[in-house]
Structure formats: C-alpha cells, structure tokens
Structure 1
Amino acid sequence: MSGEDRISALHDDLLLKILSEIPTKDVVTTMVLSKRWRFVWTKVHKLEYKDTRKEGNSRVWWLIEKSLQLHKATVLESLHIQVEHQFCDDADVGKCVSYAVDHNVRELALIIPPQPMILLLPSNVYTSKTLVKLTLSCRTLFIDVPSLPCLPSLQRLALLNVVYKDENSHVRLLSNCPALRHLEVQRNKSDNVTSFIVKVPSLKSFRYTQHKRASGRSLVLDSPGLRRLTLIDPHGDLDSIQNMPHLDWAHVFLIIPYPKDDKFLRSFSSVKVLRLSLRNVECCSTIKFSRLMKVTLHLCCFDDFMCSLEPLLLFLHNSPILKVLEINYDVALCSNGVPLSWNRPSSVPVCLLSHLEIFVWKEFAGRRQERAFVAYILANSKRLKTAVFSPTYNLYEKEKEKMMELLKSMYRASASSQLLRLLN
C-alpha cells in the first residue's frame, strides 16, 4: 500500500541508529510525525548541534538545553556543539558539557567563537573515565586544570586557540592522559604559555600550529613514540625538539633564513616522508636521512640573499634510498628574481643511481642554472619513471611550450621514463 508507514514499524534500536546519523535539530522534529515517534528521539546516543551562521539568535542554545532536559539515554556516545556566533548570557555551556560527562560521553566537541565572558569547563571533564576524544575551540575558553586530573581513556585531544590558567596547566593535563595517541594544538597570542611542553610517551601523532608572530614562544617536544608530526610555526623557537626515532611522516613549515645550527632538523633524521618549507635547504644538507623515501621541498627565496642549488645535491647525497623528489622553488615572491648558484658536482648521489623514481619541479622558471640542475638529475637517474614539471605562472604559453620541448630534448639515463607537464 503506497500510504503505509513502514518506518514506524521498525525496532527502536534501528530507528535510533538512523536518527544518530542526522543533525539533532532534525532529529527533534521527528516527534511530530506520530505518537510512535514522539519519544524515540530522546534516546539517541549521538547529539550534534551545528549553526554555522555568523549572525544568529539564541535559539540553538535553547534547543540544546531543552533537548538535554528531555534526553533519556543512559549513555551518550557523543556531543558535538559548533556555533559560529556569540550566544546570550543565559546560555549555560558548562551545564551542557557536565551533562554529557555525567552520561559517560565518549566524544565531546565544543567549537564556538570568542564570547564576551570567560568560559570555564566543569571540573568533571578533567576526571572523565569514558572520554576518548575531546575537541575544544574557543579564544575565551579558560583551561583551568585541577591538581589531580585523570583522563585514562582519552586518545584524541584538540586544544584550538584556548587560554590556559598558567604555564603548567597543559602539562598537568597531558601528563594525566596515559592513553593519548593524537594531539593537535593551535595557539593564539593570548594563551598565557611561553614554553609549550609536550612529553607524552604514548603519543603517535602531533600537529602544532602558530601562525601569528609571538616573541619568546617555544615548543619543547620529547615524545619518542611519534609517527606523524606537523609543525607550522613561521617565527617560533622550535629548537627543543628531540627523541623521535620512529618518525614516519613529517611536515615542517618554517620561514627562517639561516638556523644557528642543524640541531632542530637533525631530530628528523629518521623520517620516511618529509614535507619541508624553508628559505634554504642548506641548513639540512649535512644531516643523514637514512630512511627518507619521499621529500617535498618548498624553498622560499627572497631578495636578501642568493639561493644556491648545491645544497640540494648534498641533501640527495645524504638520502641514499630516496624514491620521490618534489621541488617547489618559489622565486615568484621576489621582485627582481633571485640569483642562483650551481656548479656540477664531482660525484653522483647513490639515490639517483639506484632509487629515484619520481622527480617533480613546481614553479619551474627555466633559468640557466635550473636547466643545468634538471639535466644533471635526468642524466644520472637510472631508475627514473616519471619527471613532472609545472612552469611558473608568469610565463607566456609559448614560453612554457618551448621550455617543455627543451626539457624533453635532454638526455635521460632511464630510457623508459616519461616527462610530463602539470597544468597550472
């Protein structure tokens, strides 16, 4: 029969599974469908409240508080609150969070914009036995960690632009998360911490971001179990990073002309896949990357010094099993073009003779020194399968075509290799 309501005949467990996959505001509206649906929504195990409008009213918080008052599930799997606009003074965020923790929540996310008042988390958050994933994002959220926090089940933690009570608040928090495997930290200029210390033996991945300049800031990282690491801090002090013998993947974004020494980058010597953004690769040309198989080098050259291509060869000499080499020589940032230095080396890196399979150069300008470097790579890479070039954007199409014809005419040690152009 076409008008038959077959969904209402389903078992509650199946209905709850269906409802847990849609936003809570839509879940609540199901109560008007029929008497059968009136109270089903109150038993869902996943609650998601999202309002991404920049301007709005307090209705979303009214919905959150009312739905939690009527909620009847003994266990709450997840609570996700994401609001883009400021809310009214009577919205009790702490009460909502406390309710979730009291109902054994496993995943909790609080993503809200800065508010007129300082927000505090309820104390039971720091002693939850069930929390597995915790995401906190708010510039006026005050992290006041008690002297004896305990989060034995927490595996994923994201602290995004929050404010800390003192230098040791985050240290107390991290040291009492024995199962923590994934940590993300995004800092703002008012987070009250000078030296951000991360010493977590169980940690497997860590993402650290600080975009805005903040003098005197530093990161202390000593987590020997790390497998993946992302560091985005153009101006900070990252010298106190050590003890990463099992690192597999790393992305490092720095804008510093010449580090005082190579101590910082030496900590990455065990990495297998490396994405490195620097002004010059010279600072890591003396480091032995014995496990490195893929590297992406984004080299930002400015007018204040000469860019040299020789350190690239030294880098290759110290990466004996490298299979993939990607270069982005960003000289487009310069007004007059940066002078390049290149002299043909006396010996060939081992990786070119026996391992390199893919060679990519983005923003290729085709200057004489660059062409000489490419000719050297193609002439000595015996196992090369693919070479890909993306001409710099400020060349005319005819110039790009002429450049590609020149590259294709170069001798290649690997007769089976392909030479391709990336469209840009």
Structure 2
Amino acid sequence: MPHIDRISALHDDLLVNILSQVPTKDAVTTMVLSKRWGLVWTMVPKLEYNDTSKEGGKSLWRLVDKSLQLHKAPVLQSLRIQAERQFTDDADVGKCVSYAVDHNVRELALIIPSLILPTQPKILLLPSNFYTSKTLVNLTLSCSALVIDVPSLACFPLLQTLALLKVVFKDESSHVRLLANCPALSYLRVNRYCGDNVKTFIVKVPSLKSFTYTQNDRRASRSLVLDSPGLRHLIIFDYGDLGSIQNMPHLETAYVGHLVPQPNDKFLRSFSSVGNLYLRLMDVACFSAINFPRLMKFKLHLLKPSSSEFVPGYSEYCSLEPLIFFLHNSPILKVLTISYDVGPDFEDLPLSWNQQSSVPGCLLSHLEIFVWDKFGGRRRQERECVAYIFANSKCLKTATVLPRCSYRLEEIVEDIKSMYRVSESSQLITHSDSTILEG
C-alpha cells in the first residue's frame, strides 16, 4: 500500500499552528521535507531558540540571524531566546529585539549568560525602539551584561508581566523610569545582580498585583522601597535592609525571607493586613505589639546557621515568648506551622519559654491546624511550648509534630503522644514521612 502524506495535505494555517508548538530549530528543519514545506515555517508567529549544543553560542546566533532573514509573518506574537552558552555578538541581539518590536511582538524573553573576557566585559544595549514598544505584554530580561538605559520618553502601555533577572541598570533612576512608564504592570519579578548599580530599589506601581524580589548579596548595602497599594501577593528574599515597605491594604499572601541576625519590627508592621503569611527568620524578637486582624494562615521557618557559617551580629540565644505575643495579636488564626531548623551544633543552645498568664484568643476559638516541624525534644522549653498549644487549642482538628532526628525517635514520639490535648477529637500525626500540612 503506498504511503500517503496526510500532514502535507493540511491547510497552511493548521501547519503553521503545528510548527508554532515546537522549537524554531525543529520548525526550520521541516523545509527539507518537500517544496510543500519549504516556506510554511516562515509564517510561524512564535519563534523560540534554545541553545543546547556543545558548540556554544555561535551556532545559535547563526540560526537566529538566518531564520529572521527568511521570516515572513507580518506579526510576531512571541520571541524567546535562551542560550546556555555565552553570546558572541551583541549586535545580533539588538537586531533580534529591533525586528521583534517592529513586528508588534507581545512576548519577549532574552535569557542570555554574559561573556566574561579577561580585559573588557561584554556590554549589551537594547535598541532605542525597544523602549517605546506599544505591543509588549510579557517581558523577561536575564543577562548580567545587559545594561538597562531607559530614556525619558520610554513607554510600555500594554506591559503586564516584567521579569528583570540579574541585569544591570545604568544608574539609580533607570529602573524608576522603566516602572513609571508601565501603567498596566500587574506582575513584577526582580532578581538583583551584585553589579546592578542600584543601592535603593524603588517600586511604586499602583497597578501592581504581584511582586517577587530577591537580593542575595550579604556584602552589599542595599534597601528596598515598596509602595504599591494594589498588591495582592508578595515574595521577598533579602539579606539586607528592607527599607520602607508600606501601603499594602489588600495584601492576601506574603512570603518573606528576611535573613538578618536581629530584624526589627518595622518591616513586619507592613504586613499587618495580610491573610496568609510565611516568614523565614533567624530570630522572632521582632514579634511585639503588631496586630494581624486578618491573618488566617501563618508559617514560621526559624533558621539557625551552622557553626561553619559566620553571620555578623547573630546571637545564639533564642526566645519563643514573642511567638505567643504574635498569637495574641492574631485573633482569627486557623493554621499555624512552625519549622525550627537548627543544625546539630545548636541543639543545646538556650531557648527561653515561660508559662503565659493569658491564653491567646485564636487558640481558644479558631486554631484548627498546628504543625511543628523538626521538633527536637531535648529541650524542656521546646516541649513546653508545644504542650501549651495542645492544652489550649480547643478547636484543633489536626496536630502534626515531626521529630528532627532519628535517634531517640520512639522516646520522642511517645512523649508527644502523652501531651494533653484539650481538643479530644483532634488527630495527632508524628510520623516523619507524613505530609506537612500548610493549609
């Protein structure tokens, strides 16, 4: 029976749609199948280039250059270039971006490692028409050699999603001008680079709904200024000064990793209206008289560095008493998760805990799920804190206490089971292979 090429008989529009779902390199190779396929790929509105070859970036940029010369689609919906090797010619990059903007691109992603030379580092500048794109909706820029130099007349009227990952800004005001000219921006992700030339990163975007910010350089003196009243979701991971964070009345969820030895309560007051809060801290001393009237889910990851990790200003002493003050000021809390992550070198450090004179209202009438992960069991104070929550949580449905170490496991588990629980119908989980409930 003769072979019938049913795919080639399909309409051009359907073939273009099929080729849009595969990497551009694979789409281009279809031109060798027959004359029928020769120019179909040139009408594909989505171009995606991934450098996975062992040859390095040269082969990638040759493909990009040649395919753009042959490309005929009047509108380019998306252009994505992801290179695993260093690029070789910044003019190629600028030409690609300029072509995409001229063809009304909606989604643009440049994920390119920088070229490290022994004498002069490579610098990548974007073309001038990029900063006045009237069609861009989603933009991702990731390259430590990319210098963001925003002109005064920049404008991105439709841009909704922006990711700035390890890029360099020409000066302190470049990122401010960029954000100020994105009136529709709703999602922003920033991953700071050690040489990005910005000391104070300012985010004042009224339309912003979600913001993710990462700053891993412990040596840099940097701060974040955040004033975006429309925020609903916030993720911050910072080793430095959180500076000024304010005006978030509609915040729903917040993940904050504030890894400084002795955080003050100024940054924590900014989250008083949040409904779901996850904190990763080295100390809970910042829990003082801050009210959280809307908080329903809270996870605390209390982190202690290993003995080999030097953290200036870090105190080995830790008190859990501020945690109870926190519970007093969270009247409708339903889910409480505590992960006390200490290394073996810190298991015998002092841990302060004193019996409280009054019981937090959330324990008496709202708390339903309680999790203590990495429970040590060796310190009286840690045990008494868990026992206190068991004995006073009248609405508790599930209590999960997972031991940190395997040694003395049976003894620790039996001790946990012996603790009095005022909610007799609550389920107790103590197995290390259990799923930790986070609500």
Bin for the TM-score computed over the shorter chain: over 0.9
Q: 2:412 aligns with which of 403, 413, 416?
A: 403
Whether 1:414 aligns to 2:423 is yes
Using the aligned pairs only, state the percent identity. 68
1:208 to 1:263, Cα distance in 2 relative to 1, 3 A: same
State the shift of 1:29 in Å. 0.9
Determine if the alignment matches structure 1 residue 340 to structure 2 residue 351.
yes
Equivalent position SS for 2:88: coil
Aligned to 1:231: 236
TM-score between the two structures when normalised by the length of structure 2: 0.92
1:138 to 143, 149, 157: 143
Distance 1:158 1:36, change over 3 A: same
Decide whether the 8 Å contact of 1:301 with 1:333 is kept in 2: no
The residue aligned with 2:226 is 221
Aligned to 2:130, what secondary structure does the other structure show? helix
Q: Secondary structure at the match of 1:80?
A: strand
Are the aligned partners of 2:87 and 2:114 in contact in 1 as well (CA < 8 Å)? no
Q: 1:83 to 1:176 in 2, by over 3 A?
A: same
Match of 1:241 in 2: 245
Corresponding residue number in structure 2 for 1:96: 96
- Assess, with a 3 A threshold, how the Cα gap between structure 1 residues 128 and 308 changes in structure 2: closer, same or farther: same
In structure 2, the partner of 1:22 is 22
Report the residue type matching 1:285 in the other structure: S
Report how far residue 401 of structure 1 moved: 2.2
Deviation at 1:4, TM superposition (A): 1.5
Moved more, 103-112 or 278-287: 278-287
Distance 2:110 2:163 in 1: 10
Deviations 1:149-193 (A, max 9, x none): 010000011111111111111111100000000111111121111
Residue 189 of structure 1 is aligned with which of 190, 194, 204? 194
Of 279, 291, 303, the match for 2:282: 279
SS at match of 1:384: coil
**Aligned residue for 1:124?**
129
Per the TM alignment, residue 291 of structure 1 is displaced from its structure 2 partner at its CA by: 0.7
- 4+ residue segments displaced more than 4 Å: 52-55
- CA distance in structure 2 between the aligned counterparts of 1:90 and 1:327, rounded to whole angstroms: 49
Corresponding pairs, count: 419
Residues 106-117 of structure 1: matches in 2 within 5 Å? 106-115=106-115, 116-117=121-122
| 8 Å Cα contact 1:201/1:224 also seen in 2 | yes
What is the rounded CA distance, in whole Å, between the counterparts of 2:384 and 2:371 in structure 1? 15
Distance 2:333 2:315 in 1: 31
How far apart are the structure 2 equivalents of 1:214 and 1:133? 32
- Output aligned runs, 1:228-307, within 5 Å: 228-234=233-239, 236-259=240-263, 261-301=264-304, 304-307=315-318
Deviation at 1:54, TM superposition (A): 7.3
Tell me the residue number matched to 1:351: 362
SS in structure 2 at match of 1:58: helix
Matched position secondary structure for 1:59: helix
CA shift digits 1:24-71 (9 cap, x unpaired): 111111111222111111111111101146762511110011111111
2:375 matched residue in structure 1: 364
The 3-state SS of whatever aligns with 1:8 is: coil
Q: Which amino acid aligns with 2:303?
A: C
Q: Which amino acid aligns with 1:280?
A: D
Asked whether 1:56 is paired with 2:56, we answer: yes
Q: Output the CA distance in 1 between the equivalents of 2:255 and 2:236.
A: 6
**Runs of 5+ consecutive residues of structure 1 not aligned to the other structure:** none
Q: Distance in 2 between matches of 1:160 and 1:402?
A: 48
Matches within 5 A, 1:13-92: 13-52=13-52, 56-89=56-89, 92=92
CA contact (8 A) 1:52 1:82 kept: no
> Is contact 2:98-2:129 (8 Å) kept?
yes
Distance 1:90-1:402 versus aligned 2 partners, 3 A rule: closer
Aligned-partner Cα distance in 1 for 2:223–2:283: 22
Q: Distance in 1 between matches of 2:343 and 2:244?
A: 32
Provide structure 2 residue ranges, at least 5 long, that are not aligned to the other structure. 116-120, 306-313, 435-439
User: Residues 325-353 of structure 1, C-alpha deviation per residue, up to 9 Å, x if partnerless?
Assistant: 11111222644632111111111111111
If the length of structure 1 is used for normalisation, what is the TM-score?
Answer: 0.95
> What is the Cα deviation at residue 418 of structure 1?
1.2
SS at match of 2:177: helix
Other-structure match for 1:389: 401
The residue correspondences of 1:304-343 to structure 2 (distance < 5 A) are: 304-332=315-343, 334-335=345-346, 337-343=348-354
Whole-angstrom CA distance in 2 between matches of 1:57 and 1:167: 32
